[in-house]
Structure 1
């Protein structure tokens, strides 16, 4: 973890992916993250397997490093009281409950802002809050379908497809982090916290980017192009003798260099293909020519030649090949720490590289309630006997009284 957010306390009432992704990022940056989980079951993703290692879901492992797990039964008044006491001492609270549940538990922003005016309260939901759809549950796959993303993903004449990871959840988590950091900065000037309303739908629509701009300003429906690009040609995968190459020829000068490398310099002079606009409009004529020429080329020889003249190109890799690649090794992309339960915990190093805030090796994703006793005693000044009592009542879960030192 980093030292950037040392001293910032985060109360994580979220589960599954968008919220945990946000809190993991804050933990990577050095914040102290308390992950509140239901006793016994914990986060939903603990049961999402395969894949798993030694019975532990790798899905859960992928979004929960650098956190402490506190198992509290939110359905019991004593449990809610504990959460409220923790909220009093927190800088940030992140939740993804339905509004009706928050009102029932008296854990809304309005409930907590008076007892902690500096609290930054971040709500993550499928459709946002404050309207008739606020109770509708939000799932990444559903939002991918509803937002139009699936309609532009997949082969031209094939089925609409979702992206291979729950990227709207991930982007929503990233948006939450951006908003939280901005709110922390604003709090430095005003002394006040605020409520942040982050929705998967908003994130998805915003991520449509150039596709959204194209539709909003022309009225045209976007189409699917498979791996090709609606506005740049050539920009897709091509077959070589021993693999597949990804090309992203982004301007006319790159196209001239590309044509020279593949032995077709006159192609760049053809009036149909001189400009990117022309190439895009005449893609059905141009692409078969390129496909035929590249089919007999050796992948790595072609890559070396293209990279030497500044034409963007790469090889199609599997996930395993990507993590074994030269760039992954040069960037120390994979970080490993020993784990008693699974042997070695491996995860992807944070992409936030900061010269004055170095990252330490991550702490392991916690077991359900692993830190319950530690947190309740350290943060709320509860006695060991009181924690034992709460354990026996089933209000919290963690280390049994009989094993307490």
Structure 2
């Protein structure tokens, strides 16, 4: 774990992807992220995928690496009081609350700022008006399913990657650090709201899709696996594998042609089509005809032959591989990559865990830390953060208001 954010304490109340991943990103940079959950775990504690050996959620452990866990009865007024105390503890780098529990009255900004005026609260919601949305409902509304999938299809195609949750999580982490810097400069806390649909719409606009629809009045066509506005696609190899080769820039185009021995053929083709393939728009216009040549070339070579030729020429390419192939064969997904470490995850077993993808020149990235067991740090948080005595902590356990890790 990196020490970039050492001393920063973030209290997290969350479920699903966006908020937990935001907290995890902060924890990987050294922040003390304390996650509170209902005793026994929240609604996503057992979500798939699960470990075959004991059913533990690989989803939950994957999103909560490096945090501390506080288990409390959230329905009990005394349990809620403990959470409010935890969130509003004094300290220049404390008093930060990250959540996607929108609309919970006892966790509102107004309720918490009665206890700490300079509180920072980052709240992730579905839509800007507070109404419910998840990644999959947001994605269906922002246009991408209508440009995804085979060109011959007549129905929208959903993407399996929860892209808006991921983007929202990183934006939320940025919101935490930005609000903290502002408080250090001004002494003022604030409530920062981030809607999942706003995150998606911001990206859609930044990539030109909104302007394309408004200014040009055009619906982007379905391209299958062709890259829009340039040349790139999947190709089959002689030994039955598939690769992706890209020529986004002019240099990449020239290198790809040279590697495949097709420079002269492409010059002839562009002459016949009265186009200039040094212009990305022209390459895109002729993508079908161009692809036929590269498809034939790839089908005459094995994956290993293509690897040697493409790597020698500096082609922008990679091979399609499953998750199991990625883990088995790709050195980028192994301890050869300094981001990864093999860690013993309680309740799951030993497996690769990624630390932060950020690699600072002046600070060590550090080893990855596993996710906690629910309630693993309850007693130390009650004692060291809230400041309760062992007798007071014992009474809370006896009353069933808090819980430690299950035996």
Q: When the two structures are superposed, what TM-score results if normalisation uses the length of structure 2?
A: 0.89
Q: Distance in 2 between matches of 1:253 and 1:65?
A: 41
Secondary structure of the 1:358 match is coil
Q: How many residues align?
A: 390
Query: For residues 328-373 of structure 1, what are the alpha-carbon distances to aligned partners after superposition, in whole Å with 9 as ceiling and x for unaligned?
Result: 4442343122345433243223201112332333333122212112
Shift of 1:85: 0.8
Among residues 319, 322, 326, which one is paired with 1:318 in the alignment? 322
* More divergent stretch after superposition (153-162 vs 2-11): 153-162
Change (3 A) 1:360 1:276: closer
Change (3 A) 1:314 1:346: closer
8 Å Cα contact 1:34/1:69 also seen in 2: yes
Query: For residues 60-86 of structure 1, what are the alpha-carbon distances to aligned partners after superposition, in whole Å with 9 as ceiling and x for unaligned?
Result: 111011111111222221112111111
Shift of 1:188: 1.8
Whether 1:152 aligns to 2:151 is: no
Partner of 2:289: 285
Partner of 2:260: 262
Among residues 174, 181, 204, which one is paired with 2:177 in the alignment? 181
Partner of 2:199: 203
Whether 1:309 aligns to 2:304 is: no
8 Å Cα contact 1:98/1:137 also seen in 2: no
Partner of 1:350: 356
Q: Distance in 2 between matches of 1:153 and 1:229?
A: 11
Q: Distance in 2 between matches of 1:315 and 1:196?
A: 41
Structural RMSD (CA)? 2.2
Secondary structure of the 2:122 match is strand
Partner of 2:125: 125
Q: Which runs of 5+ in 1 are unaligned?
A: none
Whether 1:369 aligns to 2:350 is: no
Partner of 1:31: 31
Change (3 A) 1:345 1:282: closer
Q: Distance in 1 between matches of 2:22 and 2:284?
A: 39
Q: Distance in 2 between matches of 1:13 and 1:74?
A: 11
Query: For residues 18-69 of structure 1, what are the alpha-carbon distances to aligned partners after superposition, in whole Å with 9 as ceiling and x for unaligned?
Result: 11100011111111111110112x1333211343153211111110111111
* More divergent stretch after superposition (53-62 vs 31-40): 53-62
Q: Which runs of 5+ in 2 are unaligned?
A: none
8 Å Cα contact 2:212/2:218 also seen in 1: yes
Q: Distance in 1 between matches of 2:87 and 2:331?
A: 45
Partner of 1:17: 17
Partner of 1:61: 61
Change (3 A) 1:153 1:9: same
8 Å Cα contact 1:337/1:361 also seen in 2: no
Change (3 A) 1:73 1:217: farther
Query: For residues 84-109 of structure 1, what are the alpha-carbon distances to aligned partners after superposition, in whole Å with 9 as ceiling and x for unaligned?
Result: 1112113310111232xx22x2x211
Partner of 1:193: 189
Partner of 1:224: 222
Change (3 A) 1:251 1:174: same
8 Å Cα contact 2:102/2:123 also seen in 1: no
Q: When the two structures are superposed, what TM-score results if normalisation uses the length of structure 1?
A: 0.89
8 Å Cα contact 1:72/1:79 also seen in 2: yes
Shift of 1:216: 4.1
Partner of 1:338: 344
Partner of 2:50: 51
Shift of 1:281: 1.5
8 Å Cα contact 1:123/1:197 also seen in 2: yes
* More divergent stretch after superposition (343-352 vs 9-18): 343-352
Change (3 A) 1:124 1:240: same
